[in-house]
Amino acid sequence: MKLPPTCLWRVAFTFYCLIALTSCSTQSRHRLLCVFFEGVDQTNAPPAVITEFGSPTNHSVNALASSRLPVAPIIHYHQPYEERKCLACHVSKQSQQLHAEGGELCLECHKHLIGDAKFIHVPVDDGKCLLCHNPHESTELFLLKRKGRAVCFDCHKLTKLLKVKEHTTMGEASCVSCHDPHRSNIKKLLKQPLP
């Protein structure tokens, strides 16, 4: 029997995915599932909806995922990524190339973030959004790369911070309870003026 070429292609692709699914990490497995169920345009696969738990709501996929993952991490998705608007950032669906560099890309949709603020945090001013955020998804809120204060400790050492009077009594308080991570009209990126 001679299979039509598109059919052969699908068989090969399915095979590839099965191999990859059984061998790769949770995150890349999930990414692959997304590609498989949503990125392949001409399949009859039901449209998979990404749930809060990071697995497409497709029964066979959930069965596969739950048999290997006792606790699926909650993944938060960037809205344009979740809506599969890859072209909002990439030059084509197949390309990893971006149509703008660094912060410029992000500010196309997040202009309000800096506005005409008087003080801008140095890494934000440098357009280095990706030092703190992931572009697609994260297990942390606000697409952050790290948990809580660890985002700030990458560049600000606690020992040095504790030399500032206001920090000596902060305990475990979140940095962003007092500081804006991006910009402010008050010096030292404070959210509220010093009393």
Residues 6+ apart with CB under 8 A from 17: 32, 36
Which of 33, 65, 75, 151 lies at the binding interface for ligand HEC (CB under 6 A)? 151
Which of 32, 113, 117, 186 lies at the binding interface for ligand HEC (CB under 6 A)? 113
Q: What six digits make up the tokens of 178?
A: 């007092």
* Closer residue to ligand HEC in complex, CB, 15/153: 153
- What is the rounded CA–CA span in Å between residue 33 and residue 42? 16
If binding means CB under 6 A, how many residues of this protein chain bind ligand HEC? 62
Site for ligand HEC in 22-51 (CB under 6 A): none
- 9-39 per-residue burial string, b: 16 or more CB within 10 A, e: under 16: eeeeeeeebeeebeeeeeeebbebbbebbbe
Question: Residue 152's closest CA among 127, 125, 123?
Answer: 123
- Whether 90 contacts 47, CB under 8 Å: no
Q: Does 53 participate in binding ligand HEC (rule CB under 6 A)?
A: no
Q: Does 52 participate in binding ligand HEC (rule CB under 6 A)?
A: no
Which of 51, 84, 92, 115 lies at the binding interface for ligand HEC (CB under 6 A)? 84
- Whether 115 contacts 177, CB under 8 Å: no
Q: Does 54 participate in binding ligand HEC (rule CB under 6 A)?
A: no
Task: List residues binding ligand HEC (CB under 6 A).
Answer: 76, 78-81, 84-86, 88-90, 96, 98, 103, 105-110, 113, 119, 121-124, 128-133, 135-136, 141-144, 149, 151-152, 154-156, 161, 164, 166-167, 170, 173, 175-179, 181-182, 187-190, 194
